[in-house]
Structure 1
Amino acid sequence: MSAHPASGRTVHLSASGEDARILPDELGGFVLEIGGAVQSHVDPAEPTAIRYEYLRRVANVLDGVAPAGAPVRVLHLGAGALTLPRYVQATRPGSAQTAVDLDRELVSFVLAELPMPAGTDLDSVVADARLAAVDLLMDGERFDAVVLDIGTGEDGAEHLRGAAFYGELLGLLTDTGALLVNIGDDDGLRFLAAELGALEAACAEAGVPGPWTLASADMLERLELGNAVLAAGPALRAGAAPGGTPSDADGDAGPLTPAALLARGPHPGAVLDEAESAALARRIGGR
C-alpha cells in the first residue's frame, strides 16, 4: 500500500467545469478521475513505475536527454496527477520542473492528496498552455525537455496544435533539448498525420531534427485508435552518433536513437525516424 493515502474527496475544477477525485487503484497506486473518466495513474511509493504506455515512451526519451541522473529542466504543459514530474524527480534528483495547467484547483488538489517527495523543485503555473509557453519564450527560458500532454484531438483547442505552436515550443528547447507531444487519435489516424505534417514544418523552420513517432506497433500498422508520442528537437541529432548502445543495467538510456528507444519498450512497439514518420503520414493520407 502507498505511504500517501488519498482522502477520496472531490474538488470542482472551475476552468473545465468538471469534478476531480483521486482514488486507490486495485493494481496499486492511485488514479485521477476528471468528469468520471480516468486521466492519470500514479504510484508515489514507486514513481518510476509508469502504467500508461505513451507516458512510458515519453519517459524513455526523458531518460536520454542528459547523462543518467543529471538534473534537467522540464516544462510540462498539462499537469494530470504529476506522474512525469514524479518520475523525473526520482530518476534525476535536483531537476527544476514547471507544470502548467488551466484548472487552478487541479495541481493544488493533487499535491494535497499525493504530495511530491521532499526536495522536489516544481513550479506550478495556472495558465493557458500557449500563453504560458509564449511568456516563457519571451523571458528567455530554456528547457531540456518540453512535454505537451493536453487533450488536443480534432475536437480540441485549435490553438494548442499546429506548426506555429510547435515552433514556439521548439524555441523553448536548449541546444540538446527534446519536444514530446502526446497525440490521441481515432481509427484511421488522420489527426496524427496532420500533426506529423505540422511538426515536420515547424522542425524544418527551426532547423532541428524530427519528428519521430513512438507508438504501439499494432496501432501504426493497422492505423487504429490509440496514443502516439511525437518527438523532435536537437536531442535527436545529439543522440544520432554511430556506435551507441541501448539501455544498460544501470538504467542509462544511452543515445536517443530509434534502436535504443525501441529496446526500452513497451513491446511490441515502433519507433519511426523522420523519414519513416513522413512515410507513415503519406500512407495515412493515401487511404
Structure 2
Amino acid sequence: MDGAPQSHVQPDDPTLLVFEYVQHLALAIDALPPGPLGVTHVGGAGLTLPRWVEATRPGSPQIVLEPDAALTDLVRREIPLPRRHRIRVRPVDGLTGVRTLKIGSADVVVTDAYAGGRVPAELAGTAYAHEVARVLRAEGVALWNLADEPGMRWVARLVATVATALPHLALIATHEVLKGRRFGNSVLVAGASALPVETLRREVARANLPTGLREGAALTRLVAGAKPFGETGEPSPQPPDAGRWRVR
C-alpha cells in the first residue's frame, strides 16, 4: 500500500509473523494473562494480527476498524478468515469507530493504521488517546505501531501525549531503532494500571530479532523534554524511499 509492504499473511500458519513490528505487538499481547481477550484493532490491512489472536487465544471477540472496504473485501476473498472466528470488521476510521465503543469494552486496543506511509494525525492526538483509555478495561493495554526517524522525536511526543491518558508506558523496538541508527518502527505499550514489565522483559529477551525494552527511567530519558501533541495530533514523519534507510 502506498508503495510500501503492508502485510504478510501465512494462510496455513497464522502464528508465523514476518514483520518485526507485528512480532512486537504479539509479544506484548503474549505478556497478558492466558485465555480469550477482547481486542479492538484500529487498522485492518491483511488481518494478520487478528488471525494470530484467534489462533493463539481461540474464541477472542475482536473488532477491526478499517475504513477501506475494498481492501477488506479483497482480503476476505483471497485469504479467507478461519471458521468459527469472532472477528468483526467495521468500515469506519479509527477515531470515529473508537468513539462508538462502550466504556471498558476491550482488554487490548491495537492502533496500527497508516495513510501514505504515515500515522494519521488524528490517531496521535490527546482526543484519540483519551478515547482509547475510555474503552480499555482497568487492566487492559493499548498498543501503538509507530514509525519515526533517528532521534525518535515524534515518538517522544506521542509517548508524552499518551501519558496524559494512560500513565504506565513502555516502548519496544529493535536495538538499531532504539539506538537511532535508522528510520523504523517501535511499539508503544500503555495502560491505566501497572504493566507486566517482568513478563515483557522475558518476551523481549527471546524475540527473534535483537529487541530492546525501554520503560521507567530509561523511557523517561528517551523522551526527555518532549511536549504532548494537541487534541488533533500530528502525522508521523514521511518515510524514506522504499528499500532505503534514512540515516542521521
1:103 to 68, 80, 94: 68
Instruction: Answer whether contact 1:152 1:160 (CA < 8 A) is retained.
Output: no
User: Which residue pairs with 1:116 in the alignment?
Assistant: 81
CA shift digits 1:239-286 (9 cap, x unpaired): 35xxxxxxxxxxxxxxx644223223133111111332121012889x
Dislocated runs of 4+, deviation >6 Å: none
The correspondence of residues 36-115 of structure 1 with structure 2, limited to 5 A, is 36-67=3-34, 70-115=35-80
The correspondence of residues 127-138 of structure 1 with structure 2, limited to 5 A, is 127-136=92-101
User: Which residue pairs with 1:212 in the alignment?
Assistant: 170
Let me know the Cα RMSD of the aligned residues: 2.4
Instruction: Answer whether contact 1:88 1:95 (CA < 8 A) is retained.
Output: yes
The correspondence of residues 117-156 of structure 1 with structure 2, limited to 5 A, is 117-136=82-101, 139-140=102-103, 142-151=105-114, 156=119
Cα distance change of structure 1 residues 155 and 86 upon mapping to structure 2, 3 Å threshold: closer
Q: Shift of residue 89 of structure 1?
A: 0.7
List runs of 5+ in structure 2 lacking aligned partners: 228-247
Q: Does 1:198 align with 2:161?
A: yes
| CA radius of gyration, larger in | 1
List runs of 5+ in structure 1 lacking aligned partners: 1-33, 241-255
Cα distance change of structure 1 residues 194 and 48 upon mapping to structure 2, 3 Å threshold: same
SS of the aligned residue for 2:28 comes to: helix
The amino acid of 2:173's aligned partner reads A
Q: TM-score, normalised by structure 1?
A: 0.73
SS of the aligned residue for 1:167 comes to: helix
The amino acid of 2:135's aligned partner reads L
User: Which residue pairs with 2:221 in the alignment?
Assistant: 279
Q: Does 1:239 align with 2:181?
A: no
Instruction: Answer whether contact 1:78 1:99 (CA < 8 A) is retained.
Output: yes
Q: Shift of residue 144 of structure 1?
A: 0.9
SS of the aligned residue for 2:223 comes to: helix
Aligned length: 228
Decide which structure has greater strand share.
1
SS of the aligned residue for 1:41 comes to: coil
SS of the aligned residue for 1:232 comes to: strand
Q: Does 1:265 align with 2:207?
A: yes
Q: Does 1:227 align with 2:194?
A: no
CA shift digits 1:78-113 (9 cap, x unpaired): 001000011001101111111111112111210111
Partner Cα distance (1:96, 1:66) in 2: 16
Q: Shift of residue 153 of structure 1?
A: 9.1
Structure with greater contact order relative to length (CA < 8 Å, sep ≥ 6): 2
The amino acid of 1:216's aligned partner reads T
Q: TM-score, normalised by structure 2?
A: 0.84
Partner Cα distance (2:118, 2:78) in 1: 31
Query: What is the percentage of aligned positions where both structures have the same residue?
Result: 32
